[in-house]
Amino acid sequence: VSRFEGITMAPPDPILGVSEAFKADNHELKLNLGVGAYRTEELQPYVLDVVKKADKLLLEKGENREYLPIEGLAAFNKVTAELLFGVDNPVIRQQRVATVQGLSGTGSLRLAAALIERYFPGAKVLISSPTWGNHKNIFNDARVPWSEYRYYDPKTVGLDFEGMIADIKAAPEGSFILLHGCAHNPTGIDPTPEEWRVIADVIQEKNHIPFFDIAYQGFASGSLDTDAASVRMFVARGMEVIAAQSYSKNLGLYAERIGAINVVCSSPEAAARVKSQLKRIARPMYSNPPVHGARIVANIVGDSALFKEWNAEMEMMAGRIKNVRHKLFDSLSSKDKSGKDWSFVLKQIGMFSFTGLNKAQCDNMTNKWHVYMIKDGRISLAGLSLAKCEYLADAIIDSYH
């Protein structure tokens, strides 16, 4: 009998488990709209041309594979903060940002969660309802208490702004408020600039700490600057801000695990202390981060020609998703005779559409139509092609009614 007898089978991951189920299905019309990864119109994975170029340059340079410092590649940390806050942001000049390279968005969030657990004992993190499924896991594993604030209103298939504000107001003073910088996952619903201002007002009034997760910079609007506007607005108000970044989606570097955690502090001394503690948390967890993705990002952002190319490719990707969104809306509107208003599909932004399908309806999508998706009703439009929109619309209409 095994010494590991007491270990029970863990449930499959609700997001990554969808891909496994998809692979096991042999139906020719099957569609994987689970994981948020960009696909071409042919539904193939996509390596950005600019990444291929940067890779080639790296190979030619033949750099060594020595360990990086615990905080990561200096050139990467510099450009990643500039990309998020803006090159000319005074917080950068004043050295008030503690930036540490992380294992993509997830690892960066996990570092921040560990920092909160260690230095803000008992403090709560407020997360949106709903949110990306892994947020709860991250805070649970870091032993950080969390609760939810209202975000999605099923009646309007839009933002429950009043509920959100009320819940942030009601949270204990000094809570951490987790916000999606842009392209909210899974709903695809972002606050308007005016709503963001009110959110910042309340967070400031209550002495909360805004904690941004920005995994889709550039993917919401196609512009890196526009998508960072929420974060920059909070920083411009002089607030201390935490922000976790990811290059999985906007540079297609999923498997390179490249991202960063940034803590904007009110003094350079505080930033230096925070950075030292983030390093102290990282060291026994994974020692130091991988170099390859960091070099790719540093080379692309640090070179004006490559940077331009990246922006063009990102616009192309964001554009393809927008086209698919329009086609799906057209297909739903023309096929559905029930009079249902499908315009929410057009209003949502980013990679996803939150269909409002419940779990039983999602099961119908998968079991009858071979459409693989998360059971919260989220579909990844990045995994959809124009050619498959009509089929998907049939599946959605059938599942709704």
Cβ proximity to ligand PLP: between 14 and 90 the closer is 14
Rounded to whole angstroms, the Cα distance separating 337 from 340 reads 8
Q: Residue numbers of the site for ligand PLP (CB under 6 A)?
A: 36, 104-106, 132, 180, 185, 213, 215, 246, 248, 254, 259
Residue 86 vs 350, nearer CB to ligand PLP: 350
Please identify, using beta-carbon distances, which residue of 53 and 180 lies nearer to ligand PLP: 180
**Catalytically annotated residue among 124, 160, 227, 249:** 249
- Return d(Cα 189, Cα 377) in angstroms, integer: 14
Name the residue among 220, 217, 229, 226 with its Cα closest to residue 260: 217
SS3 breakdown of the chain: % helix, strand, coil, rounded to 5? 50, 15, 35
What are the phi and psi torsion angles at 354 (to 5°)? -100, 110
Give CA–CA dist 81/39, Å, rounded.
28
Instruction: Enumerate helices (H) and strands (E) in the chain, giving the number of each.
Output: 16, 13
CB-based contact 332:400 (threshold 8 Å): no
Distance of CA 378 to the CA centre of its chain: 14
**Between 216 and 344, CB nearer to ligand PLP:** 216
Biggest CA–CA distance in the chain, Å, is: 63
Instruction: Report phi then psi at 158, rounded to 5.
Output: -135, -160
Closest distance to ligand PLP from the beta carbon of 387 (Å):
25
For residue 400, the minimal CB distance to ligand PLP (Å) is 25
Task: Report yes or no: 187 and 354 within 8 Å, Cβ to Cβ.
Answer: yes
Phi-psi region of 240 (alpha: psi -120 to 50; beta: other; left: phi over 0): beta
Least distance in angstroms from the C-beta of 247 to ligand PLP:
7
Q: How many CB atoms lie within 10 A of CB 192?
A: 10
3-class secondary structure, 45? strand
**Whether residue 146 lies in the annotated active site:** no
Residue nearer to ligand PLP on the CB measure, 271 or 384? 384
Find the shortest distance in angstroms from Cβ 338 to ligand PLP: 32
The smaller minimum CB distance to ligand PLP, of residues 53 and 135, is found at 135
Q: How far is the CB of 253 from ligand PLP (least distance, A)?
A: 9
Catalytic-role residue among 132, 146, 310, 369: 132
* Catalytic residue flag (residue 249): yes
State which residue, 89 or 248, has the beta carbon closest to ligand PLP.
248
CA distances from 7 to 2, 3, 4, 10 (A): 10, 9, 6, 9
Alpha carbon of residue 136 to chain centroid: 14
CB of 258 to ligand PLP, least distance (A): 8
Q: Which of 160, 167, 190, 213 is catalytic?
A: 213
At closest approach, how far in Å is the CB of 205 from ligand PLP?
26
Return the beta strands (E) in 48-153 as ranges: 97-103, 125-129, 146-150, 152-153
**Residues annotated as part of the active site:** 132, 213, 249
